[in-house]
Amino acid sequence: MKPVNSQLAALGTTIFSVMSALAVEHDAINLGQGFPDTDGPQDVMKAAAAALFDGRNQYPPMPGVPELRQAVADHDRRFYGIAAEPSQVVVTCGATEAIAACLMSLLNPGDEVVLIEPLYDTYLPVVRLLGAIPRLVRLDPPDWTLPRAALAAAFGPCTKALLLNTPMNPTGKVFSAEELDFIAALLARYDAYAVCDEVYEHLVFDGHRHVPLMTLPGMGERVMRIGSAGKTFSFTGWKVGYVTAPATLAPVVAKAHQNLTFATAPNLQRAVALGLGKDESYFLDLAAALQAKRDRLAAGLETVGMAVLPCHGSYFITADIRPLGFNGDDVAFCRHITEAARVTAVPVTAFYDGPEPPRHYARFAFCKQDAVLDEAVARLAAHFLTDADKRRR
Ligand code: PMP
Ligand code: GLN
């Protein structure tokens, strides 16, 4: 038999599926794959249910139902002052498809793409499948500050695009205004595009502010931004994503989408349109609730002995496992706690491709009920703390 696609054949199963399967096998609390353990807003759910019963169950319009394209444009204007028309919005099957569609819309084989490590696991495979060449720039813990000289050095005459994730998974970093200015200047200097994965746009804490790169001067014509109802409304299984793109690029993104999935479920699109129109309090309450969960889990992991890194956005915290004295790397650690303590996390090396990544960080998702977070901490404490430790604490 002739070989199948060699790049796909060489790819392992995503760490999220691997760790979730291991969690099920060991009846572990799954703080690995990022998904909330409660439903999102009831009115959005009811709208999705009701929308099944009014006769719009056939193929929706390819770029998205009009209600949702309008709602995304309105949302972008309300929160960020972005003046996009509904015709500049493409609705996709989750942000995952949006990322692929945006990259497809830009890249020809041989184009270079600048990516920032640690990075979400679909970015590199898609860039490579398109025949483009990744240029990786690495952020270093614990601050994950943008290394400006390294970023500038990654740009060159063949740079077609930068892929930026802010708020960032798995680091919890929210790129600062100064960092975004620096990135914008590079994009302008090298006439490059940016694909901005902003799925955690509303999950920002401690007074940090999410600023879409698209809103910076001159960036409206070269930046596409991506959102996800999975994150903004806690319905990760719905797979409703959306892209806001410059008028010249949106039709090309739509052509990519037309050949990937063509459309996503119409009732869910209509429900998400309702969600995006919710009062500002919904979005603020979501962030406040998650900030409290972050603090709860961070405090718990610290009692167990881990050193928790700052997290300003997303629903993940990264913990340094070295203080526990565990004899093994992050992969062994995450497997060990799943089997022995029945709590699952994700090894942060899964977000690296380049040589010598840090091997002592585990990522924990805190988008869970308080009782579940407490039980996870109790299990880790029972496993790692001696009786003397427990009496002291
Ligand atoms: N980008 C990032 C940074 C993510 O963390 C995720 C998923 N959690 C996605 C994209 C994919 O989003 P979706 O589930 O909407 O496809
Ligand atoms: N984005 C989620 C995470 O980082 C996982 C998404 C998936 O499993 N495809 O945990």
Sign of the C-alpha dihedral, residues 252, 258, 260, 261? positive
Report DSSP state, residue 32. Answer: S
Query: Contact, 332 vs 96, CB < 8 A?
Result: no
Question: What's the pLDDT score for residue 393?
Answer: 66
| Total H helices, total E strands in the chain | 15, 13
Q: How far is the CA of 239 from the centre of ligand 2 (A)?
A: 12
Query: Contact, 316 vs 352, CB < 8 A?
Result: no
Task: Tell me which residue has its CA closest to atom 9 in ligand 2.
Answer: 16
- Cα(315)–Cα(317) distance, integer angstroms: 7
Beta strands in the chain (DSSP E): 29-30, 89-92, 112-117, 133-138, 159-165, 193-197, 223-228, 241-244, 307-308, 316-320, 343-344, 346-347, 361-365
Q: Are strands 346-347 and 361-365 parallel, antiparallel or unpaired?
A: antiparallel
- Closest atom of ligand 1 to CA, residue 165: 3
Got the DSSP string for 79-125?
A: HH-----GGGEEEESHHHHHHHHHHHHH--TT-EEEEEES--TTHHH
Peptide bond into 170 cis (omega under 30): yes
Question: What's the pLDDT score for residue 390?
Answer: 72
- Cα(2)–Cα(243) distance, integer angstroms: 37
Domains 6-40+281-392 and 42-278 share a fold: no
Task: Tell me which residue has its CA closest to atom 3 in ligand 1.
Answer: 169
Report DSSP state, residue 237. Answer: G
Mean pLDDT by 10 residues, the chain (393 residues): 96 95 98 97 98 97 98 98 98 98 98 98 98 98 96 98 98 98 98 98 97 98 98 98 98 98 98 98 98 98 97 98 95 98 98 96 98 98 85 69
Question: What's the pLDDT score for residue 61?
Answer: 98
- Ligand nearest 15 Cα, by number? 2
Q: Where are the domains of the chain?
A: 6-40+281-392, 42-278
Q: How far is the CA of 16 from the centre of ligand 2 (A)?
A: 6
To test the pocket of ligand 1, the residue of 102, 164, 169, 202 to mutate (highest count of ligand atoms within 8 Å of its CB) is 169
CA atoms within 13 A on the CB side of 280: 4
Of residues 75, 47, 120, 18, the one with CA closest to residue 345: 18
Identify the CATH homologous superfamily for domain 6-40+281-392.
Aspartate Aminotransferase, domain 1 (3.90.1150.10)
- Closest atom of ligand 2 to CA, residue 34: 10
Domain 42-278: which CATH number of 3.40.640.10, 3.40.120.10, 3.30.230.10, 3.40.50.720: 3.40.640.10
Of residues 43, 36, 90, 359, the one with CA closest to residue 245: 90
Question: What's the pLDDT score for residue 388?
Answer: 72
